[in-house]
Structures are given as structure tokens and as C-alpha cells.
Structure 1
Amino acid sequence: MQTSKVWYITGASQGLGLSLVKQLLHAGYRVAATSRNAGLLQEATGIIDKTRFLPLTVNLTNPDSIDDSIRQTIAAFGRIDVVVNNAGYGMAGTVEEAREQDIRDIININVVAAIEVTKRILPLLREQRDGYIINIGSVAGFAGAPGWAVYSATKAALAAFSEVLALDVAEFGIRVTVIEPAGFRTGFLTENSLSYTAPRIAGYEAVRKTQERYLAMNGRQPGDPEKAAAIFIALAERPDPPLHLFLGEDAYLRAAQKINDMSAELEQWKQTTISADF
């Protein structure tokens, strides 16, 4: 079977992105997938089918590289229907110990790259008057944990981008969802996917204890990437996907608690809030 939809997925050589690519190809979709090394991506999928699978070596910090990957996708498949901005990594530690370049690097991949990919594909989706954009955020972007301030900031930015983008492009028939998972067994807590600096400054016990707990969870996270990938595919077939989708029970509980806390605080400070008006 070959379906008509074409998926373009960034950061597809491991974890959730790789699970998604494999399921899509198995189901007969056409897929363009980016990685820093297309050869390793090809090897990881174990699939050689040039009529349906286009592995691409892309530097997501280079707009010309992104443009070239989109041109190759259009040349191979003629269109793009679903965009998945999946590329990204984690950064844990205290803010005062974070290096400036490390902060800039994670913002460039987790936020700027997603915006640049979206910016370059939007004209195609707008002309088609149809399309679906999935941005992979994190529950940490809504309800963070100690030691993840910079990472949480990038995912909060991606969520805000998704919210306003959805308003901008609705008239063109383009749908947007930001996926906000909790812990999934994707290799996120491994060296290749996580920049981690253990606190060296005295104190910061909340950061230290949280990081120890998270790192001890590696390989035992409750989230199943195969189930997540199946959810993505099902969402893309719906005319009414959600704007926000939290994935995993922990994500649900953290988000629900945050909403309750915010609602209570909003009401507690209501008089102060409205007193600022003329």
C-alpha cells in the first residue's frame, strides 16, 4: 500500500523520530527524514525504498541546508503534507553554571530550527490549502522540574509559537499540534541527547535530587515511543486534532496540577491584577 500523504520529519535517527519513521514506512506512507548523518539514518531504519523513503543529511542550524532538504523532498515526492519538528535535546543543571554557548546552542536547535523549517514549508502548505504541523515540545515547557530551566524555556517557547501559528494559518486549512510528553524510553537521558552538568555550587539540593532521580530513570521511563508514534499517525488523519496534547500519565498529572495552581493564584490576585487598569 502507498498512501498519498508525505511526511517531513526532523531529528529522525533515534528515539521517537525513528519509531515514527519506521511505522510510517510500514504503513505505506512516503517519508522524508532528516538527520546529521543520512547514512546512519538509513541503517537505523533498515529500509531501502527510494520511492517512499528519502533520508537526508541536514544541518538544522543552516537555512540553506534546510532549503535544500525541502527541494529534495519536493523533487522526490511532489508535496509535503505533514511536518514533524522533532529535532531537539535536553539540558539540565543550574542556570548560573550554564555556559552561554550551550544556552545559545539549545535554543538554536529546539526553537529556531523548528521555526525555520516551518517558515520554509508554510508556502507549500498554504498553496495546497491543507497541511499539518506537529511540534514536539515537552511537559517541561508547561510544568517544569528543578534543574531544567533552560530546556523548559525552549519548550515553552515552542508551545507559544505553536499556539499563535495555529491562529495565523487556520484560514489556509493548516492544523497545528504541540505534543508535550513526559518521560519516554527514547534515549533522551543518554549522552547523545542530554547536556548535563551536575551542580558544583553548594546548595541547589532540589536540582541535585531531581537530576539524580531523572538519570536513575533512564531506560525505565513509562512512556512507550511506539504508542506515541501511532498516536501521531492517527492525529494526522483527523480534521480536528488538538492544539495541545500531553502524552503519558505523568504529563497529564503535572499539567492538571499546574492548571489548578494557576487558576487558584489567578483568583487570589484578581483584585491586584485588575487594579492596574485606568
Structure 2
Amino acid sequence: MEPISDFKVWYCTGTSTGIGLSIVKKLLLQQTNRVVAITRNPQKLEKEIPVEHLPNLLAIKTDITNEESVKQSISKTMETFGRIDVVVNNAGVGIIGAVEELSDQEFRKAFDVNFFSVLHVCRNVAPIMRKQKSGLIMNVASVLAWFTVGEYAAYNTTKYALNGLTSTLGQELAPFGIKVVLLSPSGFKTNFVNDNMESAKVRIEGYKTDDLAKWLDGIVNEARGDPDKFADAVIAVSKMDEVPKNLFLGTAAVNWMEGEFKKQIDELKLNHELTISTDFPNLPPL
């Protein structure tokens, strides 16, 4: 394929199944897109794509936890298309377990996929987008980047970290004309629990790790979120002149976050006097 400046070039991770696959399919329906799909199995992905859309797809086998592999995929993208307009960091893994139950190895695996893979991509597309003076990066987190669920410690922690990374990156890249968005979905009906979920090898009596596993199965079965509608939302964001810093996706996300924000505000007010008591005395008011 020759570099084509008239087309928008998308670089997407986590594209083999679920939301990522829906994003790839939706993008390819629009002839104005070229899609770079980062995946562990390009052949499997290509079988999911209608043959008439394959010319607009570049599927690259990549280990997103390895920065050198990510660099190679970005280099191949640039050799093929000459630019990167939109990045969607969608890959993720879930590991069930309480803090005390999870090993360092299990925690680090969650960070490698959910955080460091995103860092690898962002760090290596930033120079390209700065040179272009344009670009959009969308990082898929979760409502669990904003509040926690017990016995889901590794996932919660990585998504909070991704929230911080995305917010910081957005401030840093804004002067270069680059937009950065955090996407925070609630439950979507995908195979994430079956395909990308693991459990701590250690169980400690008293924790509710096994109960959480059953709850997550139920959440997926009853999920209101449609992966194709998620893809539509991603495409809609890419067309906005002013993008949100964070976008919650799903009715459950709205309901949960309204309750969570209210609890935080109530607690802030409850402890107001103690909070401000830590200042030096006789300072002018802020």
C-alpha cells in the first residue's frame, strides 16, 4: 500500500475480539479510513473481516507488552501509510484477587497489559503526532478507573493508573494540537471475562474472590452495552472539534458515577474543617 494522505489512519490495539473487533469493522465500513489492527493473531482477525474491506486493513502481529515490538508496528504503519491520525488503546486483561492474594507476577502482568502497553504506544506515537501537529489518542479504561470493587485489586489499580497517565498526557500534548481522551465504559456484552480474565492462584479464607468471579459473569450476561454502539461512539468522538477529557459509556456508568461523585462530595463536606485545619494560620483566603 502506498501512503495516502487523504485518508484517516487509525492504529488500534486489542482488536481480535469484542469492542476492538467492533471498532475495526465499523471503521472499515467507511472508505475514508485505513485501519492498523494490532493483534496477537492477524490471520484470525482477517477471517473476521469481509474480503472487500481487507485492502484497507493492515493487521500486525505485535506483543504490546514489549516496547520494541510496539515500535516495529508503528514503523510499519508509517512505512505503509505515512501518518497516524487516531490511536485507540483498547487491549486489556482482568485478574481477580484481593491485594493479599495476588502475587507480584500477577500484579505485573496486569500492569504490563493494561498500563505499560498503553504507555509504549503513546510514547512512540507522540513524536509522529507532534510533527504532524495533529492527532487523537483514545485510551479505553473503565468506570473502575474512578471507583473500586473489592477483590479486583490489580484491575482497579491499573485502570486508576491509566486515568492518571491519560490526563497528564492530555495536558502535555494539547499545545501541539493533539487531543487525548479517556473512555470509561461500564459493562459491555463481550467475551472479555472468558477470553481475558484470570484469577489469583492463591485463595485466602474470608475474601470474596470467588463471589466476585460469579458477579462478573452475571454482569457480562446482563450487560446493556453493545460493542457496535461503543465503536460508533469512538468514531463520533473522532469527529468532534472539542473532545471530552473523559467520556463515560453506558447507562450503568452514568448511574454508578452519579452515586460515586455524590459520596465523594458528601465526604469532602463532612471533613471540611479537618481538611483546612492543616494550613498555616493567618494566610489570605484562596
Give the structure-2-normalised TM-score: 0.91
What is the alpha-carbon distance in structure 2 between the residues aligned to residue 67 and residue 277 of structure 1? 47
Alignment of 1:62-211 (within 5 A): 62-190=66-194, 192-197=195-200, 200-205=203-208, 207-211=209-213
For 1:39, the equivalent position in structure 2 comes to 43
Contact in 2 for aligned 1:61/1:108 (Cα 8 Å): yes
In structure 2, relative to structure 1, the CA distance for the partners of 1:68 and 1:82 (3 Å cut) is same
Gap regions ≥5 residues in structure 2: 281-286
SS state at 1:180 partner? strand
Contact in 2 for aligned 1:82/1:236 (Cα 8 Å): yes
Contact in 2 for aligned 1:91/1:195 (Cα 8 Å): yes
* Corresponding letter in the other structure for 1:119: R
SS state at 1:246 partner? strand
Contact in 2 for aligned 1:138/1:179 (Cα 8 Å): yes
2:16 to 13, 17, 20: 13
Which one is further off, 265-274 or 216-225? 216-225
Contact in 2 for aligned 1:3/1:30 (Cα 8 Å): no
What is the alpha-carbon distance in structure 2 between the residues aligned to residue 51 and residue 202 of structure 1? 54
Alignment of 1:255-274 (within 5 A): 255-274=257-276
What is the alpha-carbon distance in structure 2 between the residues aligned to residue 187 and residue 36 of structure 1? 16
User: Are 1:23 and 2:26 counterparts?
Assistant: yes
Contact in 1 for aligned 2:46/2:54 (Cα 8 Å): no
Contact in 2 for aligned 1:143/1:254 (Cα 8 Å): no
In structure 2, relative to structure 1, the CA distance for the partners of 1:183 and 1:50 (3 Å cut) is closer
Gap regions ≥5 residues in structure 1: none
What is the alpha-carbon distance in structure 1 between the residues aligned to residue 52 and residue 126 of structure 2? 29
What is the alpha-carbon distance in structure 2 between the residues aligned to residue 3 and residue 225 of structure 1? 28
For 2:283, the equivalent position in structure 1 comes to none
What is the alpha-carbon distance in structure 2 between the residues aligned to residue 150 and residue 247 of structure 1? 22
Alignment of 1:40-59 (within 5 A): 40-47=44-51, 51-59=55-63
Paired residue total: 275
SS state at 1:31 partner? strand
What is the alpha-carbon distance in structure 1 between the residues aligned to residue 189 and residue 199 of structure 2? 18
Q: Over the residues paired in the alignment, what is the CA RMSD in angstroms? A: 1.8
For 2:284, the equivalent position in structure 1 comes to none
Which one is further off, 194-203 or 223-232? 194-203
Contact in 2 for aligned 1:186/1:225 (Cα 8 Å): yes
What is the alpha-carbon distance in structure 2 between the residues aligned to residue 26 and residue 3 of structure 1? 16
For 1:247, the equivalent position in structure 2 comes to 249
User: Are 1:218 and 2:220 counterparts?
Assistant: yes
In structure 2, relative to structure 1, the CA distance for the partners of 1:3 and 1:248 (3 Å cut) is farther
Larger radius of gyration: 2
Contact in 2 for aligned 1:12/1:33 (Cα 8 Å): yes
Contact in 1 for aligned 2:111/2:158 (Cα 8 Å): yes
Contact in 2 for aligned 1:182/1:251 (Cα 8 Å): yes
Q: CA deviation at 1:227?
A: 0.3
Q: CA deviation at 1:80?
A: 0.4
SS state at 2:220 partner? coil
Give the structure-1-normalised TM-score: 0.93
